[in-house]
Amino acid sequence: MKKQILVCLALALLFPSAIALNCNSLSGGDLYICNSIQSTNLSQAEKDLLIADIFNKNKTIPDFDFIYSWNTNLNIKNSPDNKYQSNGSIKNAWVKIISLMPSVLEDNILYIPEQVKILTRYNYDVVLPSGTASGDCKTSYSLEDKKESLDLYVNSQLIGYDQLTAFIIKDNPENLNFIARLKIEVKYKVDHYQNKKYCSGYKDGKCIKYKTVCEYRSTNYQTDTLSLTDNLNAKLYRNQLNSSFKITDKYNGITRGILEANNFTKLILSFNNSFYRDNRYIYSLNYTSQYYILTLKAEKAENIDFKNINVNKENNVFTFTVKDTSNCKIELFDHFNSITKNCDLSYNETNFSIKTDKTNYYKTDTIKVYITPSDVLVNVTYGNQSKLAKNYTEFKAVLYENKINAKLNGEEVNWFVNVNKKENAALLRNLVILFLLIYIFYKAAKVYYLKSLRT
């Protein structure tokens, strides 16, 4: 196992070293694996680095190399689930799909990518009959031949014959059923011996003494066969990492932009002296059977970390403000894949605005919205309606919905209107007239009263 552990060491070097990690603080499968690592011929520093990496409880990137190394080097002699079958001279036979690699267990569902390896193990004993067959004075049994064949299937399609088989899922079904079918055949020879009486003494030409000799008489061959299967269900991991990046504004040495990313488990946006990390999963070791067969378990646990950058996150849209944009890089990860993209830091300034044909509307009136410049495609929203438009668009006025919003490349502008009921407007008009009449009457009464005082 030493060689395989060294494969993981490169990854472990990325993590801080612990000083003489003590396995006694662990339990269960963690303790078993920790002790296994400590028993290797690696230096203590190398052991500490490896253990610190494997048992990092906040691990945000899956380590499939260690899983592969561990599982393929397990010495599995007995059935991991204690299920055995026998027939004739074939005893204690078992077959087991040990692991699909790489794979990730999430919400009790095992996910695999299109390219995967299936690890299978099996074993059986041959126990030839013993004792003397009926009518024999002696019976001997000897093994002539034994052979086994392993056939591996996914959704009834044959994919291989070896205990470690690599294959590609071509037709992309969602649900996958893996079957390992083991056929065993044992052929042995049975030699039969029978007693034969011989004369061992004569007198006067007559046999007066006999002896019995157990002599070989015949041979027959016996063949025992046994067929047994194991199965494992999984799901094909369907995911497509994608992102878009755009610089939306530059002012006073500050750059503003938008990153939109989808279907990731981890995102890193990095610049020369700043970064933003969004980790949405952590990975841990999942143990099965007394052999500690390993699978990676993924659990949702979002953690955000950043330095020298301001980010406003809304779902999968990240609006960022940063000072130094040099060495910009986008890294996206999912359970099985990763991509790295450079950033398009070009910036073309576009000033846009909206306005309406008037500011006051009645319910169901047509609001005409004009867009400047007229040749840019803008997302215009009014109430619960959104439209992509150039130059001009229109909406039906909705009572008390007063805000019109337009977005372009992360920039947005607002325009406000008034929407009222016609009857409310008529009532307002009547109230204005009434107050005007009252005011006129009041002024006239005041003039008349002052004249009466003079006389």
The 10s digit of each residue's pLDDT in 31-48 is 888 888 888 887 776 677
Q: Are 213 and 157 in the same domain?
A: yes
Q: Could you tell me if residue 443 is inside a domain?
A: yes
Q: Could you tell me if residue 22 is inside a domain?
A: yes
Q: Are 289 and 376 in the same domain?
A: no
3/257: higher pLDDT: 257
Q: Select the highest-mean-pLDDT range: 6-15, 381-390, 433-442.
A: 381-390
CB atoms within 10 A of CB 344: 12
CATH number at residue 405: 2.60.40.10
Q: Are 228 and 246 in the same domain?
A: no
Q: Are 454 and 317 in the same domain?
A: no
Q: Could you tell me if residue 347 is inside a domain?
A: no
Q: Could you tell me if residue 348 is inside a domain?
A: no
The two structure tokens encoding residue 444? 């006239």
**pLDDT (tens digit, 9 = 90+) per residue, 199-212?**
988 888 898 898 99
Q: Could you tell me if residue 87 is inside a domain?
A: yes
Q: Is 205 helix (H, G, I), strand (E, B) or coil?
A: coil
What is the average pLDDT across 17-38? 70
Q: Are 273 and 303 in the same domain?
A: yes
Q: Are 82 and 226 in the same domain?
A: yes
The two structure tokens encoding residue 186? 């044992």
Q: Are 135 and 229 in the same domain?
A: yes
Q: Could you tell me if residue 397 is inside a domain?
A: yes
What does each C-alpha distance from 268 to 272, 306, 307, 346 come to in angstroms?
Answer: 13, 9, 12, 20
Q: Are 99 and 35 in the same domain?
A: no
433/189: higher pLDDT: 189
Q: Could you tell me if residue 176 is inside a domain?
A: yes
Q: Are 92 and 230 in the same domain?
A: yes
DSSP-derived pairing of the beta strands 411-416 and 385-389 = unpaired
Q: Which of 215, 236, 257 is the endpoint of a domain?
A: 236
The two structure tokens encoding residue 56? 């990092």
The two structure tokens encoding residue 218? 């015949």
pLDDT of residue 15: 33
Q: Are 372 and 287 in the same domain?
A: no
Which residue shows structure tokens 């083991």?
182
Domain that holds residue 454: 429-455
Distance CA 299, CA 105 (A): 9
> How many domains does one find in the chain?
5
Looking at the DSSP bridge assignments, the partners of residue 59 are none
Q: pLDDT at residue 220 above 70?
A: yes
The two structure tokens encoding residue 403? 């805000």
Q: pLDDT at residue 29 above 80?
A: no
Q: Are 111 and 174 in the same domain?
A: yes
Q: Which of 236, 259, 293 is the endpoint of a domain?
A: 236
Q: Which of 236, 266, 297 is the endpoint of a domain?
A: 236
**pLDDT (tens digit, 9 = 90+) per residue, 84-135?**
999 999 999 999 999 999 999 999 999 999 999 999 999 999 999 999 999 9
pLDDT of residue 347: 84
Q: pLDDT at residue 249 above 60?
A: yes
Q: Are 250 and 267 in the same domain?
A: yes
What is the average pLDDT across 308-331? 94
Q: pLDDT at residue 16 above 50?
A: no
CB atoms within 10 A of CB 198: 11
H/E run at residue 148: strand 138-154
Q: Could you tell me if residue 136 is inside a domain?
A: yes
